[in-house]
Structure 1
Amino acid sequence: MVGGTSGVWLSFCFTTVLLPFLAFCTKQTYIVHMKQDHKPSTYTTNHDWYSAHLQSLKTSDSDSDSLLYTYTTAFHGFAAVLDPNQVQALRQSDFVLDVYEETVYTLHTTRTPVFLGLENQLGLWDGHNIQDLNQASHDVVIGVLDTGIWPESKSFDDSGMPPVPARWKGECEGGVDFSPSLCNRKLIGARSFSKGYHMAVGNDPTVKSKENPTPRDQDGHGTHTASTAAGAHVANASLFGYASGTARGMATAARVAAYKVCWSTGCFGSDILAGMDRAIDDGVNVLSMSLGGGSGAYFRDTIAIGAFTAMEKGIFVSCSAGNSGPERATLGNVAPWIMTVGAGTLDRDFPAYAVLGNGHRFAGVSLYSGNGMGKKQVEIVYSKGNNSQSNLCMPNSLDPKLVRGKVVLCDRGVDARVEKGLVVKQAGGVGMILANTAASGEELVADSHLLPAVAVGKKVGDQIREYVLKSGKKATAVLSFGGTVLNVKPSPVVAAFSSRGPNMVTPEILKPDIIGPGVNILAGWSSVIGPTGLEQDTRKTSFNIMSGTSMSCPHISGLAALLKAAHPEWSPSAIKSALMTTAYTKDNTNSPLRDAADGSISNSQIHGAGHVNPHLAISPGLVYDISTSDYITFLCTLGYAIEHIQTIVKHPNITCSRKFRDPGQLNYPSFSILFGKSRVVRYTRVLTNVGAAGSTYNVSVDGPEEVAVTVKPTRLVFDKVGERRRYTVTFVSKKGISPPKEAFGSLAWNNDQHQVTSQIAYSWPQLLLQ
C-alpha cells in the first residue's frame, strides 16, 4: 500500500472523503486528557475514575458504555464517544486539561541487507562480531503498530531462538481467526485495537469489513513492515521469481510484537494511542510506525504524544515521513523525539521494455509475471481528449470497442497504478504503458500488474505520447520483461514520493532525519490477499515487493534494534544521533545523492542527514544526546500553554522557568538556520564521547558563500568515555550578497577514526536588504 498523507487532521463529523456517512453525526470519538494528580483517592483505578466522571455528566445522553479506552502510560486520560453537550461539560471540568477530536491517519506504504552491508553473518561490524550482536539482539523487542501480522509467515520462524525475555509483559491475543499458539519465541506478542474504528464504521451500511477484531493481517502491510524490521532468514524467497534469494530483516534475531491499529478505512488516533499505551507497558525497545503523523501542534498529535512517553522510557520511535513528495513541506511525524524516515532506492531494478513501431526501444520497470503478450506489435491507443478520465484509465472510462486487443497508454495519477492495469484488462486491453506526468517526474516504481505493463518516466512518456498522437492507428508497440538486475547505478536515489521539508511545525528542526531503502522492497506478505491488494487479484504469494516510506521506516527500526543490542545503555536520542551523523550523501558513483523526481541534486530538506550507513552508525565516536528536560525546554520555547505541554509530557507541576533563545537551540544532530529579522544565528551544541578515551576532534565546515560560519572552539578533546564537550557555532548571512531562497552545507567533527557530520539547511524567510 503506497498511499500518502500530508498529516492533515480529519475529524469524524467533517470528513467528506474517508467517512462521508458521519457528515451529520452528533456523537463522535474524543480523546480526553485528565489531570492525573487530581484523581480522588476514593477511586482505586483510573478506569473507575474516568467511568464515574463520564456518568456524572449531566446530559441526557450520558452513557457509561461510551468509554472506549483508558490510557495509563502513553497518555493520561481516555477515549470516549461523546455528544457536544458532554464535550462542553468536560472542557469546563476542573479535572480535565483538554478534549480533542479523534484523528484518522493513513498507512505510508532481499536485496536490502547486501545493500546496507549486513549480509556477512560471520564478519566483523566495526569490531562487533555479527553473530554476537545477533545474540545480543535476542533481548530487543520491536513493536510494530500497523495492520497486524500473518504469523504463519516463515519470516517469523523461531528456530534456534532462546526463551522469551522474562521482563516481557505482552500477550498473544486470541480470536476467531487467530490462536494464541501462533505466537512463538520470534513473534512474542500480538494484539489488536479496534474500538475507534468500529465506532466510526459501526452504523455505516456501505462499509462491509471482512476484518475480525484480532491481530490477523488482512492487508499485508503489517506483515511486510514487521518482517523488514526483524524477519528471520528465509531461503528461496521471491515474488513470482523477481528478487529471488534469501529474505531477511535488519535485526534477524530481535523479537517482534505486533499491534494491529490500522483497519480497512484507516488508522484511528484512539486505537493508535491504545496500541502505543500497551506496547510501552509490554516492554518494547523499539516502536516502528509506518503510518501518517500530524503536521500540526504536537499536543494535538496522537503519535507525538505517545512517542514522548516512549522516549522517556528509553524506547526508540521510528516513523515514516509520508508519501506526498515531491511537493515541498509535506512531512508528517516531525516531532524531534521521533526518527522521521524518508525513502531511497536500492541498487536493484526490474527492467521492462516498450518497443514502438518506429523502432524506438524505451526502458521502464515492471513486476509482471504472466505469459506476456508475445513478440507481435499491436496498436497503441491513448484516449486523451476523448474522455476527461480516460487518459488516466479511471474505472469505467475506457471504451472496450476502442481498447480490445490493444496496448493502452495511461497517464499516472489520481488512482492506484495497479488499478489502472485492472481497468485496461477489464476493457479487453492486452497491455499497458503507464507514463508518468510532471507530478511523478522520472520516478519508477515497479508493480505486480495483472496484465503486461511497463511503467516509464515523464520524458519517455512524453515521447510515447507524441508518437501515438502523431501516428494515430498506425502506432504500435510490444512489451517485454527483463527480470531482476543488480548493481544498478546510480543508487541510492531519493524516491520522488518521499515527503520532504521544510518542517512546517518547527522550521528550526531539520526534517526528515534520514532516508533508508524504501523502493521495491521484498518482504513477507499475508496469504489472504494478492500482491496488488486488489479484490480481483486471486494470486497468492508469501512475499511481496512494495514501495513507500512505510518500507524505509522498518529498516531504520531494525537497525536501531541492532544499535540497542550493541549499546544497551544508549538513549533513543543517542541512537538517533549515531544513525544521522554517520549517514552518507553520495551515491555509488561517488556523486551527490539525486532526487528521482527530476534527476536534480538532492539536499537535506529532501534526504535529511543522508542515507543510513549501519557500519559507521554502530561506532559514531560522538553523539548529540537530548534529555527529557531538554525537550520540555524546547516545548516551552514554542510558547505552548502549560496544560498543552502537560498533554505531551504528562508531568505534574511543569514550569517554563527555562527557555531556549529559539527552538533551534535543542541539541539536535542537524541544523536548520532561519535568517529572519537578524543576519546572525548562534547555537550551542553538546557532544558526548562514546568512542575511545583520549580522543581529539577537529571541526570542518562546508557551506554556501553567502554565509560565514564560525565555530568555537575548533578542537574538542575528550579525556574519558562519556565526557561531554560544548561548542558554539555562529552563522552570519553576509552583507552585500543577495541571498538565495535556501542553501545547504555541513559541519563535521573529525579524527582518524570518525567523522561526525551535521547537515545544515539555510533559509531566508525574509530577504534582507541591508
Structure 2
Amino acid sequence: MAATGAVAAAILPLASLAPTAQAAAGARAAGDKVAQPAAKPIEKSKTGSYIVLMEADPLARSVKQQDLNKAPANTKRKALKATHDRALKGARISTKARTTDFSNTLNGFAVRTDLKGAERLAKQAGVAAVMPDEMRQPQAIAADVARGKANPRALNALNDYLGLSGKRKAYASGLKGDGVLVGVIDTGIWPEQPMLADDGTFPAKPTFDETERSSCDFGNTAHKADDAPFTCNNKLVGARQFLDTYKANTGLTADEFDSARDESGHGTHTATTAAGNANVQSEIFGVKKDVVSGIAPRAQVIAYKALGDQGGYTSDLSAAIDQAVADGVDVINYSIGGGARVVSADTIAFLIAANVGVFSAVSAGNSGPGPKTVGGPSNVPWVTSVGATTFPRNYAGSIRLANGKVFKGTSVTKGTGVVPVIDGARAGLAGKANPGFCVEGSLDPAKVKGKIVLCERGFNGRVAKSSEVLRAGGAGMVLFNAVDVDTMFSDTFFVPTVMMDKTPGEEIRAWVNSQASPTAQLKNDGINTLGHYSPTVTYFSSRGETVPNGDIIKPDISAPGAQIMAGNTPSPVPGSQPAGQLWQAIAGTSMSSPVVAGMYALLKQANPDWSAAAAKSALMTSASQVARSNDRVSPATPFDTGSGFADLGRPANRGTAFQPGLVYDARFDDYRGFLCAEAPEAYSDPDTMCADLEAAGYPTTAANLNYASIGMEAVPGVQTVKRKVTNVSDSTIRVTANVQAPSGYSVSVSPSTLAVPPRGGTASFEVTVRNTGAAVGEWKFGSLTWIGSGYEVRSPIAVKGAAIAAPASVTGTGTSGTATVPVTVGQPGQYTATAHGLVGTTHNNVTIAQDPDQTYPSPDDGAGVVQVPFSLSGVDHARWKLQVPGDVDLDLYLRGPHGQIIAASTNGATDEQIDLDRPANGNYTMVVHGWAVGSTPMDVDLQSWLVPTTTGGSLSVTSGSPTTATPGTKVDVGLGWSGLAAGDTYLGTVSHAIGGTRVASTAVEVTS
C-alpha cells in the first residue's frame, strides 16, 4: 500500500554517509550545484508502526564505544531525543505513540501511527527517512530436547569436533573468551541455567547505564508468578528487555514474561551455545547426557530480550543493537531473520556496530534447500551469515515391528512397550483433513487410544503432531520425513517418538497397513555418532544466491546447527514443549550462528585490535572444505556453506583463523560504496554521494567490494574485479595465486605473486574471469588461494554467465534527439540492435472510489475497484503508469489472460508503474484499486504504452549494429528519433540479439 503524497525519503541521512572529508577532498569543485532526486514514497507498514531516522549522525559515528555512556555522550543523546520530540510535535503525533528511541547506532525512533501520520513525519525538518517497522523471527527449527542414556565418553562433543580442545589448540592455549563480552539478542534468558552460573573466577561485571531500563530485568512476579528475582553476576552480567513496540502492537500474554526472562528457550540456548560455562553436565528428564561447554566458556554474557512469542519488531531489535553497542559488547549473536532487504533498521544498526569494531554473527535462515533463500539481515556484507551443518552426534531411537524388523532413527523420549500401531491416514475423524500428517484436531481418539501413530512431515510442526497424538490418547509416534535427504531432529515430543527418513517410514506404513492387528515397540537407543553423515549441509539451511545483492556470496560460513545441546527454559509457553527441562538439543541456523559468535569471542581475545571485517575474513579464508550437500554425497557449494566449514585451527599455526596472515579488510566507506550499487535509495543524493566515493577511491559496485569471497552474478563474457589484502602478521608475506577455475571459465590473477609488507601492509590485485564455453544463466564455482610463507588464504569464486549486459532503460528529451545504450556482449556471434516505437501516451480515464476495507480483492470492492481491459498482440513492451498528487493512494494490479494477478504496484502515495517485456498475446485486465481516496470518488488518468514488435517507427538505431562480437565485446549503440509531438511522453525499446536470438531489451523513454 502507499503513502499519501511524495516526500524525500532517503533511508539514511547524507551527513551520516558522506565520504570522509579528507578522502573526498577535490571530488567536487566548490560551489557545484547538485540536482536532488525525485521524492520517494513511503512504504505502508503492515505492523501499524514506523521507524523514523533523523538526518543527524548517531552517536557511534563520533563517540568511541567505551564513551557512549559517559556524561558528554549522554548530553548529546538528550539533544538528539529532543529533535525526535520536535518531529513528533510538528507531525501532530503524541509522544506517547513513540515506542522506543535510538541514539547510538541509529538516530531516530519508532512510533505507532497511520500512513498519514508517517507522511507528516517525513516532512518534518531533520527527518531523513520513514520506513515500515517489520517483524522478524527466531531461526530455530523447533524446540528440540535431547533424551537418552548417559554416555560418559561423549564429553564436550561439539567443542572437540570443532577442534577447540586438545594439545596446542585454542583452550589449551588460554583462548576461552576471557575479557570478551558477548551480547545475545533473542527471546531472553533463563538466568538460573547452570551454564550461566558464576563460579567466582570471572572478572567484575561492567557498570551499565540504568537511566531508561534495568540492566538486570527479572522478578516481575505481578505479571507471571514464576518470574523469580535474580541478581546478575560476573558470568551473566546483564539482561535487558526490549519489547516496547511488541507490547504496544502485539501485547504480552499471561504466558510470556514481562522481563528479560525467557519463555521460549531459544535465547537461553543461543547464549549458552556461544558462551556458556565449560564442562557442565546436561540432564533431560532426569537422565544425564553430555558434558557440555559453550564455544567461548570464559566470555561474559549480556542478554537482550527483543523477541516475544509471536516474533519481534525491527524497532525493538534495532533498539537492542543500539543498546548493546553502548553497553560495550564485543560480539553480537543474532539468531533472527526475515525479509532480505539491504536497507532496514537492523541492517543499518549492524553497519554502525561493525564500524566501531563489534563482530556480528547472524543466522542465514531456515528456508532451504531451495536457492535464493538467505534472509535478512544476514544478506548484507557487514554481518557474518552462518549456514547450518550436521556433526557426528545422534540421539538415537528405533522401532521394532512384530515381524522382527528394526528401523533406526532419532529419539529423545522414552520408549514404549509392545503396543498396537496405526497409520495416521487411517485414524482420522470424519470430515477432518490430513490425518496422515497428524494435524491438530484430525485424529479420532477411538482409533488412536493406546497406539503408536505413524505421522508424515508437512502442514504443521513436528512437536504439534505429537501434541495431536497425545490429545487423541496415542501411546507414541513414528514421524518420517517427506524426503530421504532431510535432517532428522531430536525434538522434545509430547509422546514417545522416533523420527526417521522417508523410505523406512513408508516401509513401516506399508507393513502396518498390510496387517490385521499390527504391533510394535519404540526404544530409546542412547547416543551414537553418524560420522558418515557429517558434516553435511542441513536440509533446512538457507542457500544462495543472495537476494537482492547477487554479487555477494551468502552464507559466509557454516557451522554445526543440528542436535546442539545447550540451555532451555523450564517454563515454556504451554503447548510449545514439555515443561521443567533446563536443557535441549535444538536445530536451526539459530544454533549454528552462536557457534560462530563464540568463535568470534576467541578471535577477539587473541586479536583485540582486528576490525569486524578482518575477523570475518580470517574465519572465511581458513575454512575447511570437508562439508557435503544435504544428499550426504555431493560436495557442498559456496551457496550451501559459503567459504566452507568454520575451523579456527591451532592458535600457534600459520594459516589458521588465529593467524590468517592476509585478510580482506573493509571499513565504513567500502560498505557505503556497496550501497551505491545495491541500495542507492539509502542516500538523499545518490549521484553526488557515489561520485564522491569513487573520486575518493572506493568501489561503488558490489562485485568490487573488498570481500573475502568473489561473486559475479552476470558475467557478459569477461569481467574483472579488484581486491586488496592486508598483512596482519609481523613479517613480510610472499604468496602466489593458485586458481581452481569454475567449469567453462578461465581465471587470471594480476599480479599473480604478492609481497605484502608486515603489520598493516597491503597489496592489490585483479581477478579476470572469462567465459570459455559455460552456458549463460548457470552458476559455476571455483576458488582463488594465495599460497606462501606458510599461509593458504582461500576465497571461493561463484560466477554466472550473462548473454549480454545492457541497461534496463535509458531516457531522452526533445521532439528529436539522440541517446546511447552501452552494451557488453557475452556470447560470440553477430550482435544486432533493433528499435521498436516510439509510441505516445494512451490516456485511460477512470473514476475510482474508496474501497471500504482497503483490501483487494474482497467482497466489498464495489466502486473502489475499476477494471480496464487491454488486448495485447504483438507487443514488445507494455507499460502502465498512474500518478496522482496529494493525499490519494491508488494501487495497480494486473491480471493475465487466465485471470491470475501477474504483477502489482503498491508503492507509497500514487506513484505506480507496471512493465511487461514481450508479454504473451491475450486479454489482460488492469485493476485500479482505491486504497485511500476519501469520501468523494475522483477521476484519474491511467496512462499506458504498448510498444509493438514491429519496426519502422520514429526510433532508429544509428550506430553500433550489426557488430561481430566475441565474449566481452563492448558496443555503444546509438539511437535517434525525430518527428515527435511536443508535450508528451513516448516509449520505445531496443531489442538486443546475438546470432538472431533476442537476449535482452532496453526501454527508451523520451519526454518531448
TM-score interval (norm. to shorter):
0.7 to 0.9
* Matched residue type, 1:379: V
Q: Distance in 2 between matches of 1:195 and 1:379?
A: 49
| Residue 154 of structure 1, CA deviation | 1.5
Instruction: State the distance in 1 between where 2:126 and 2:317 align.
Output: 24
Displacement, 1:738? 4.1
Which of 118, 142, 160 is 1:114 aligned to?
160
Taking the aligned partners of 1:428 and 1:610, their CA distance within structure 2 comes to 46
Instruction: Note the alpha carbon deviations across 1:320-360, whole angstroms, 9 max, x for none.
Output: 01111112211112110000011111111122122334443
Matched, 1:103 2:134: yes
Aligned to 1:663: 702
| 8 Å Cα contact 1:209/1:264 also seen in 2 | no
Cα–Cα, structure 1 residues 578 and 675, in superposed 2: closer, same or farther, change >3 Å? same
SS in 2 for 1:278: helix
Which residues in structure 2 correspond to 1:40-439 (within 5 Å)? 45-58=79-92, 62-109=93-140, 110-120=156-166, 123-125=167-169, 130=172, 132-134=174-176, 137-164=177-204, 171-173=215-217, 175-177=219-221, 182-202=231-251, 208-240=253-285, 244-296=289-341, 298-299=342-343, 301-332=344-375, 333-368=378-413, 370=414, 372-374=415-417, 376=418, 378-383=420-425, 387-438=432-483
Alignment of 1:611-626 (within 5 A): 611-615=645-649, 616-626=656-666
Matches for 1:536-685 after TM superposition, within 5 Å: 538-586=578-626, 593-596=627-630, 599-615=633-649, 616-638=656-678, 640-641=680-681, 643=683, 657=695, 660=699, 662-676=701-715, 678-685=716-723
- Alignment-mate amino acid for residue 749 of structure 1: W
Is residue 526 of structure 2 the alignment partner of residue 483 of structure 1? yes
Deviations 1:533-582 (A, max 9, x none): 65385541221111111111111001101101000111000100111111
2:702 partner letter: P
Change (3 A) 1:585 1:241: farther
Contact 2:122–2:130 (8 Å) recurs in 1: yes
Unaligned stretches of 5+ residues in structure 2? 1-42, 60-74, 141-155, 222-226, 650-655, 805-825, 829-1008
CA 1:579–1:119 in 2, change beyond 3 Å: closer, same or farther?
same
Q: Distance in 2 between matches of 1:124 and 1:557?
A: 22
Residues 537, 84 of structure 1: alpha-carbon distance in 2 compared, 3 angstrom cutoff: closer
CA contact (8 A) 2:787 2:793 kept: yes
Distance in 2, Cα, partners of 1:43 & 1:232: 36
Query: Hey, what's the Cα distance between the residues in 2 that align with 1:70 and 1:235?
Result: 39
- Aligned match for 2:506, one of 441, 447, 462: 462
TM-score normalised over the length of structure 1 = 0.87
CA contact (8 A) 1:334 1:503 kept: yes
Structure-1 separation of matches of 2:486 and 2:89 = 58
Describe the SS at the equivalent of 2:52.
Answer: strand
Residue 51 of structure 1 and its aligned partner are, at CA, apart by: 1.5
Q: Distance in 1 between matches of 2:772 and 2:304?
A: 52
- The one-character-per-residue Cα deviations of 1:642-681 (angstroms, maximum 9, x if unpaired) are 53699xxxx99986656636311011111112244x1111
What is the CA distance between 1:172 and its match in structure 2? 2.3
SS at match of 1:124: coil
Could you report, residue by residue, the CA deviation over 1:89-116 in whole angstroms, capped at 9, with x for unpaired residues? Answer: 1222342111111111110014211111
| Higher deviation after alignment, 87-96 or 333-342 | 87-96
| 1:472-492 deviations in Å (ceiling 9; x for gaps) | 535543322211013632311
User: Structure 1 stretch 180-189 or stretch 636-645: which is displaced more?
Assistant: 636-645
Question: Contact conserved, 2:138 with 2:336, CA < 8 A, in 1?
Answer: yes
Aligned to 2:544: 501
Q: Deviations over 1:26-67 (max 9, x none)?
A: xx211011111799x999622222113212324xxx322112
2: CA distance between counterparts of 1:37 and 1:361? 65
Change (3 A) 1:486 1:603: same
SS at match of 1:383: helix
Contact 1:389 1:397 in 2 (8 A): yes
Distance 1:144 1:43 in 2: 24
Distance 1:241 1:577, change over 3 A: farther
CA apart distance, 1:706: 0.3
Tell me, in whole angstroms, the C-alpha distance in 2 between the residues paired with 1:243 and 1:614: 30
Q: Where does residue 29 of structure 1 map in the other structure?
A: 49
**Structure 2 residue identity aligned to 1:79:** A
Greater strand proportion: 2
Measured at CA, do residues 466 and 741 of structure 1 come closer, stay the same or move farther in structure 2, by a change above 3 Å? farther
Which one of the candidate residues 742, 747, 750 is aligned to 2:787?
A: 750
Structure 1 or 2: larger helix share? 1
Superposed displacement of residue 12, structure 1:
9.2
Matches within 5 A, 1:712-723: 712-723=750-761
Q: What is the match of residue 68 of structure 2?
A: none
**Conserved 8 A contact 1:382-1:468:** no
Letter in 2 for 1:610: G
Deviation at 1:166, TM superposition (A): 5.7
Q: CA deviation digits over 1:603-644, x for unaligned, max 9?
A: 110111111001121121211111111111111233603536
Distance in 1 (alpha carbons) for counterparts of 2:787 and 2:209: 43
- Residue 161 of structure 2 aligns with an amino acid whose one-letter code is F
* CA 1:133–1:556: 2 relative to 1, 3 Å: same
Structure 1 CA distance for aligned equivalents of residues 538 and 465 of structure 2: 21
Show structure 1 runs of 5+ residues with no match. 1-10, 16-27, 587-592
Contact kept, 8 Å, 2:202 with 2:298, in 1: the verdict is no
In structure 2, do the counterparts of structure 1 residues 274 and 609 end up closer, same or farther at CA, with 3 Å as the change threshold? same
Q: What is the letter of the counterpart of residue 437 of structure 1?
A: A
Task: Supply the distance in 2 between the matched residues of 1:280 and 1:357 (Cα, whole angstroms).
Answer: 60
* Cα-Cα RMSD: 2.9
Shift of 1:254: 0.8
Q: Does 1:523 align with 2:560?
A: no
Task: Supply the distance in 2 between the matched residues of 1:246 and 1:80 (Cα, whole angstroms).
Answer: 46
In the alignment, is the contact (CA less than 8 A) between 1:642 and 1:655 conserved in 2? Answer: no
Change (3 A) 1:544 1:769: same
Separation (CA, whole Å) in 1 of partners of 2:543 and 2:692: 34
| Conservation of the 8 A alpha-carbon contact between 1:670 and 1:759 | yes
SS at match of 1:324: coil
Shift of 1:139: 2.0
Q: Does the C-alpha gap of structure 1 residues 421 and 627 become closer, same or farther in structure 2, counting only changes over 3 Å?
A: same
Query: What secondary structure does 1:442 align onto?
Result: coil
* Contact 1:688 1:724 (8 Å CA) reproduced: yes
After the TM superposition, which segments of 4 or more aligned residues of structure 1 sit over 6 Å from their partners?
A: 651-656
| Aligned residue in 2 for 1:590 | none
CA shift, 1:416, in A, is 1.5
Number of residue pairs the alignment of both structures matches:
712
Distance 2:130 2:228 in 1: 37
